[in-house]
Amino acid sequence: MDFLADGVIQCLPLLDQGVTHGVSTRKFGNMSSDRSSKNEAQANTQKFFEVLGLSLEQISLIKLPVTNSSNVAQIKQPHEKGILKLAEHGKLIKDHHDFSCKPGIDAAICTAENTCLAILPADCAAIMIFDPKTKSYGIIHAGREGVEAGIIFKGLTVFRNWAHIDPKKLRCYIGPNICPKCYKIGNKNYDLAAEIKYQLKQVFVQEKYIATSKFCTCHDHEYFYSHYRAKDKETEGRQIAIIGRK
């Protein structure tokens, strides 16, 4: 249900809904300013945006400070354009739901136009969520630790209560992540995408509206950075995953 074109991975069901979204590949380079210079990461992001028909001069790109927590934020309409790190722009948070003792925000929801929510995954999945009726949207950083801490249930609960959505009508895309053939916990293979899908169904998302990426961030090494695969985990780059509204 997803495909690669011009270095960008997109989901057909979200495209059919007219949703602005995408996941970058190595074609655009590293998207994390923590693992390269700020100028390099911004230039790479701009190149990615251009392929999507977007401009950092016209869009507010809000990056979540992910930590594998189960914390959720409701995002207000930004007044600034360009790359905005949520950790440095707390005024963008309408409400902050702290469900764990960890700092950070691993899920966010928004209704604003000319805004995109973003995370920088390596092997974790970006769950992109869209409600066709209200045009509200969200993103969840879903790694094993966050999923086991309940980030999906908590994120969808906040989404439902704030945006007054019907979870049965939501469109969800589980973005590229590490596949069970590559990912082992001890001597057992772990299927992250299957666990995410199971938990989405537990909060009443319809299976027919859940799209799962066919790409693996670990063995599709020509396309993705991978924390799990990397020899030097401190310097390994990051993709960017975004969802929003023009």
Q: How far is CA 72 from the centre of its chain?
A: 13
Tell me which residue range forms the domain holding 40.
2-245
Which pLDDT score, from 0 to 100, does residue 147 have?
A: 97
Residue 64 near residue 108, CB atoms below 8 Å: yes
Which pLDDT score, from 0 to 100, does residue 56 have?
A: 94
DSSP one-letter string for 38-66:
HHHHHHHHHHHHHHTT--TTT-EEEE---
In DSSP terms, which residues pair with 107 in a beta bridge? Answer: 72, 140
Which pLDDT score, from 0 to 100, does residue 235 have?
A: 76
Residue 129 near residue 209, CB atoms below 8 Å: no
Q: How many domains does the chain have?
A: 1
| pTM as predicted | 0.96
Encode burial over 187-214: b for 16+ CB neighbours within 10 A, e otherwise: eeeeebbebbbebbeebebeeebbbbbe
Residue 18 near residue 210, CB atoms below 8 Å: no
Q: What is the pLDDT along the chain (246 residues), one digit of tens a residue?
A: 999 999 999 999 999 999 999 999 999 999 998 877 788 999 999 999 999 999 999 999 999 999 999 999 999 999 999 999 998 888 899 988 988 878 999 999 999 999 999 999 999 999 999 999 999 999 999 999 999 999 999 999 999 999 999 999 999 999 999 999 999 999 999 999 999 999 999 999 999 999 999 999 999 999 999 999 987 777 789 999 999 999
Which pLDDT score, from 0 to 100, does residue 208 have?
A: 98
185 class by beta-carbon count within 10 Å (0-12 exposed, 13-18 middle, 19+ buried): exposed
CATH of the domain at 127: 3.60.140.10
Closest CA to 234 of 31, 28, 34: 34
Question: Would you state the torsion angle of the CA atoms of residues 4, 23, 15, 43, taken in this order, to the nearest 10 degrees?
Answer: -100
